[in-house]
Chains A and B, each alone.
Chain A
Amino acid sequence: MDTKGLFMNRIDAAFANLAAADRKALVAYLTAGYPDFDTSLEILKQVCGAGADILEIGVPFSDPTCDGPIIQASSETALKSGMSLSKSIELAAALRQSVETPIVMFSYYNPVFRYGVKRFAEEISRAGVDGVLIVDLPPEEAGDLVEALAGKEIHIIRLAAPTTRPERIRMLAGGAGGFLYLISRTGVTGTGGLDPAAIALHAAAVKKVCPHPVCIGFGISNSDDARALAPLADGIIVGSALMRVLSKADDFAAIPALAAAKIRELRVGMDAAGMCAKS
């Protein structure tokens, strides 16, 4: 059983509102517990206030094989500060007390599997999480997760890559909910070298077969990138660029404001793109 179309949660509402306002979604990835629990919570709150439409809370993992050096380093810092999957769920629950922004839990599969897939589903549901993205869990292996989330009004966010062939994109899009995460290019998170022409072609092909909003991620680092890519889909996802800015801070207290400033910079780029498209 897939989860599409059976319910509407905060993610669906956010995309509906954005579409009505003719705006694109800004999805912000932040490593949970970086640099520590309390600062991380404050960062997430301020990022929401600064204009992020959807949050991806990244559960730190010891072996993040899909991530580049920046998220590897932030994950290591978070783990050293005592972060874990259970504390990441606590973080989401604490954030949900004060914001209504949709929350996606981003994780590798091992922490979720070890925790117990059913227990994970129940606890994130109680915490007020709206979506789950398990980066190394293709649909073929996701039976337990789909079953555990049945009836919970939580979307499974799927990824499509430049290497994903058309018939598989149809399968992925059909089984997904919330939005489809379109990977901009081959490689891990956080490395540059975006090719907007190639991404445009790919995004158009994916949008044709995907019944859900499509957001583009990997390698989007500044407002120019945001301006170039936002018009190609329904939103963009920014992770490493955000974490890179945070890693430059002199002390923890300064980090939340830096994160908010980066979000505003990206927002300006995206909204400028919208204006150009209209003029």
Chain B
Amino acid sequence: MTNKLIGQYPDKSGHFGCYGGRFVGETLMAALADLENAWNDASKDVVFDRQFREMLANYAGRPTPLDFAERLSEHVGGARIYLKREDCAHTGAHKINNVIGQGLLARRMGKMKVIAETGAGQHGVATATIAARFGMSCKVFMGAEDVRRQAPNVLRMRLLGAEVVPVTCGTSTLKDAMNEALRYWVAEVEDTFYVIGTVSGPHPYPVMVRDFQRVIGDEARRQALEQIGRVPDLLVACVGGGSNAMGLFYPFLDDRCEMLGAEAAGEGLDTPRHAASISGGQPGALHGAMTYLLQNDEGQIHEAWSISAGLDYPGVGPEHAFLHDLGRVRYAGITDREAVEAFKLLCRYEGIIPALESSHALAAAIKEAAGRPKEQAVVVCLSGRGDKDLDHVTAYMKENKLWP
């Protein structure tokens, strides 16, 4: 790469090229300006940084390992596959990194009420976790359909003291949970901190969440240099909103290193049942940012569809939209079936039960590795553990003759 990207984006008003920005009602503008100021201060403060690092180490259990998947690599018969084991972090997914950061920031701003939206429930659980740790009150908005699909995570949130608010408007999934969280925030904006779970939403959320998540890539880069002796040839991560992907990719943007974002192709990109906003969408403004969206010609948002509740969202973080247009990162669709097959392979060959979201990344990595020589190294972000998905996956396997 000749043009440097790290530290160059977004611009002062939160734009990544023509994406990002701040598309919200006037009532939220002051709160976003306050958040931006607080974040700017905190990100230059060594005390804040130390608190963040200490909690990542002692509470979240970082660094997470970079783990060579030897048997899986042999089975695939191509490039060596390494797993960045975010499933080993506290709460079982990378989501904890971001909520530690936002939780510390909320506390610093004197806001002891937090709200969050959640799809699969991982970000809801992470937010409830940090709220319990900091003694904050916590409300989590979750689509009624997801409350049903992700019952174990609903129980976890309630055990952690959070109130789970089922959202029944629209399609009753993640998009509607975010709509409802934004509506609640507009009403309670004076004393409530909205913990957004991905690199999406109005500025400064996309850059702030990316900076909290970049610990994934910073560690992976250091670990790759130690274990492989150089940066990997390819990085692969799943992309719903895209926070684990931005976290992994960002520190490598100026390296000679390919990157691939795996979007949820559901039942296929040629069907209406998918969640691949970049591969199958058009630019538009939703939930505070300009980005790629699943929508019709008149700008009405489509329902997204994926076997994985965490990828079931009709938009994507604006920095991904930007990196796609630049050609710096490739994005490809992985179907439900491909994801479940990869899920099964990782269980059998490595003794790791991955989240369905992460299984999309794994499937993409396996396809890529198969066509590459053994000298190459592929790093996959294993963004979360799959315990939450067991009922869903086993039912799918039985229905589609993939069991056992």
Which residues of A come within 8 Å of B, CB atoms?
61-69, 72, 76, 79, 84-86, 108-115, 135-138, 140-141, 158-165, 168, 172, 183, 186-188, 191
Q: List, sorted by A's number, 27 A–B pairs whose CB atoms are closer than 8 Å.
A: A62-B300, A63-B175, A63-B176, A63-B286, A64-B179, A65-B182, A67-B183, A85-B299, A108-B285, A110-B299, A113-B283, A113-B284, A114-B282, A114-B295, A114-B297, A114-B298, A115-B298, A136-B24, A141-B22, A159-B25, A161-B27, A183-B27, A186-B27, A186-B188, A186-B190, A187-B27, A187-B186
Of the candidates A62, A112, A135, A168, the one whose C-beta lies within 8 Å of that of B25 is A135
Given contacts A158-B26, A187-B187, 15 further A-B contacts (CB under 8 A): A62-B301, A63-B179, A64-B179, A65-B25, A65-B287, A79-B300, A110-B285, A110-B301, A113-B299, A114-B282, A136-B288, A160-B26, A161-B26, A161-B30, A188-B187
Other-chain contact of B300, A84, A113, A159, A172 (Cβ < 8 Å): A84
Q: Is B112 interfacial (CB 8 A cutoff)?
A: no
Q: How far is the CB of B67 from chain A (nearest CB, A)?
A: 40
Q: Which of B1-58 contact A (CB under 8 A)?
A: 13, 21-31
- Secondary structure type dominating chain B contacts: mixed
Question: For the complex, is B159 an interface residue (Cβ under 8 Å from A)?
Answer: no
Residue of B nearest to A67 (CB): B183
B277-333 interface (Cβ within 8 A of A)? 282-288, 290, 293, 295, 297-301
Whether A65 lies near B26 (C-beta < 8 A) is: no
B292 to chain A, nearest CB (A): 12
Report which of A86, A140, A187 forms a contact with B298, defined as CB distance below 8 A.
A86
Residue of B at shortest CB range from A68?
B183
Q: How far is the CA of A92 from the CA of B293 in the complex (A)?
A: 28
Which residues of the other chain, B, contact A86 by a CB distance below 8 angstroms? 298
Q: Which residue of chain B has the shortest Cβ distance to A165 in the bound complex? A: B30
| Contact A163–B29 (Cβ < 8 Å) | yes
| A136→B27 contact, CB < 8 A | no
The answer on a CB contact under 8 Å between B25 and A164 is no
**B135 is an interface residue with CB less than 8 A from chain A:** no
A180 to B25, CA, bound (A): 14
Nearest to A193 among chain B residues (CB) is B187
Interface residue from A72, A84, A114, A163 paired with B169 (Cβ < 8 Å): A72
B156 to chain A, nearest CB (A): 27
Chain B residues with CB under 8 A of A160: 26
Residues of the B chain whose Cβ atoms lie less than 8 Å from the Cβ of A64: 179
Cα distance A86–B297 in the bound complex, in angstroms: 10
- Residues in A neighbouring B23, C-beta threshold 8 A: 109, 136-138, 141
Interface centre among A108, A113, A135, A138 (most CB of B within 10 A): A138
Inside 8 A of A188's CB, which chain B residues have their CB? 183, 186-187
Q: How far is the CB of A222 from chain B (nearest CB, A)?
A: 21
Q: Within the complex, what minimum Cβ distance (angstroms) separates B227 from chain A? A: 45
The residues of B that contact A140 with a CB separation of less than 8 Å are 13, 21-22
Residues of A within 8 A of B170 (CB): 62-63, 76
B352: Cβ under 8 A from any A Cβ: no
Roughly how many angstroms separate A99 CA and B30 CA in the complex, as a whole number? 39
Interface residue? B189 (CB, 8 A): yes
A172 to B30, CA, bound (A): 13
Chain B CB within 10 A, most for which of A69, A158, A162: A162
A226 CA to B186 CA in the complex, in Å? 24
B22 CB to nearest A CB, Å: 6
Q: How far is the CB of A179 from chain B (nearest CB, A)?
A: 15
CB contacts (< 8 Å) of A172 on chain B: these are 26
Q: A65-B287, A113-B284, A186-B186 are in contact. Are A138 and B300 (CB under 8 A)?
A: no
Cβ contacts under 8 Å, A67 to chain B? 183
CB distance from A132 to the nearest CB of B (A): 15
Q: What 4 A-B pairs have minimum CB-CB distances, sorted nearest first?
A: A114-B299, A111-B299, A187-B187, A161-B27
A183 proximity list for chain B (CB < 8 A): 26-27
Chain A contacts of B293 at CB under 8 A? 110
The minimal Cβ–Cβ distance linking B290 to chain A, given in whole angstroms, is 8
User: In the assembled complex, how far is the CB of residue A152 from the closest CB belonging to chain B, in whole angstroms?
Assistant: 21
Judge whether A65 and B187 touch: CB under 8 Å: no
Q: Which residues of B are found within 8 Å of A186, using beta-carbon distances?
A: 27, 186-190
Residues of A near B295 (CB, < 8 A) are 110, 114
The answer to whether A113 and B179 touch (CB under 8 A), given A160-B26, A187-B187, is no
Provide the bound-state CA to CA distance between A187 and B26, in Å.
Answer: 11
B25, B187, B290: which contacts A191 (Cβ < 8 A)? B187
Find A112's partner among B24, B29, B187, B299 (CB 8 Å cutoff).
B299
B396: shortest Cβ distance to chain A, in Å? Answer: 28
Which residue of the partner chain B has the closest CB to A162? Answer: B27
